[in-house]
Amino acid sequence: MSFINTLNAAWTKSNSLLMVGLDPDITKMPAELAGRPDSIFQFCKQIVDATAPFVCGFKPQIAYFAAERAEGQLEDLCAYIREAYPQLPLVLDAKRGDIGATATQYAKEVFGRYNAHAVTVSPYLGADSVEPYLEWEDRGVIVLCRTSNPGGSDLQFLMTDGVPLYLRVADLVANKWNKTGQCGLVVGATFPKELAAVRHAVGNDIPLLVPGIGAQGGDIAATCAAGCNAQKTGMMINSSRAILYAKGSGHWTDAAAAAAKQTRDDINAHR
């Protein structure tokens, strides 16, 4: 199935808008994995298995793997998720932004090498930087719009003909770039007013990847009120550190599962 169809099915079957971000920090991983050549893969695999019943998808962040020369472990992880949980979207958080032949190679990396359902990209270089990803017609292209970091305001709030840049990006994606019907937007939970403005601007059908709850402090109730569509879905609400490194009295995978379940339940209580 296409990315959008997979995502819609996952929202329904899992009864969840929670996406777990896979950001494996080797300084925070359990001692039992220390020294293993596949420690990053094993950590993420066990997180995936523990949290899969409570999520609508997984979002590996490529930088955490590349910094440790662990791209091979990322390949193995993506293959495992695709095989073991084919019903759950796999979004590769890469935030790529380049043009022409280089963008074509990045698209091949994301969708060919890692076989991701979707990828995050930057809109800063314009339409031709996004086009190579759209050539993979069944895959998702999730464009940075109003990001969760405070510094995003440096550019995203600049006015263009009376409209802030982030809403200009939302309009471009929804009405010009979404040729395959597989596009989405990244909008942070830390800015619920702007999240509501984006949802209003793009309507019900554009999915929003929403980072910023958990360790970044985004409010779940405000996020759901601002970002849900008419079907009370429409968002992949991402949590990474608060789930990966959750504390509990039992095994670390039990703590992660409990944190994921609680977050899923909190989101469901407010949508």
For residue 154, the enclosing domain spans: 3-269
**Residue 182 belongs to a domain with what CATH number?**
3.20.20.70
- Look up 28 and say whether it is catalytic: no
Predicted local confidence at residue 116, as pLDDT: 98
Tens digits of residue pLDDT in 152-182: 889 999 999 999 999 999 999 999 999 999 9
Q: How many domains does the chain have?
A: 1
Residue pair 61/22 in contact by the 8 Å Cβ criterion: yes
Predicted local confidence at residue 215, as pLDDT: 67
DSSP string, 128-140: HHHHHHHTSTTSE
Tens digits of residue pLDDT in 185-230: 999 999 999 999 999 999 999 999 999 887 677 899 999 999 999 9
CA dihedral 166, 171, 173, 175 (to 10 degrees): 180
Which of 13, 28, 95, 247 is an active site residue? 95
Q: Which residues of the chain fall short of a pLDDT of 70?
A: 215
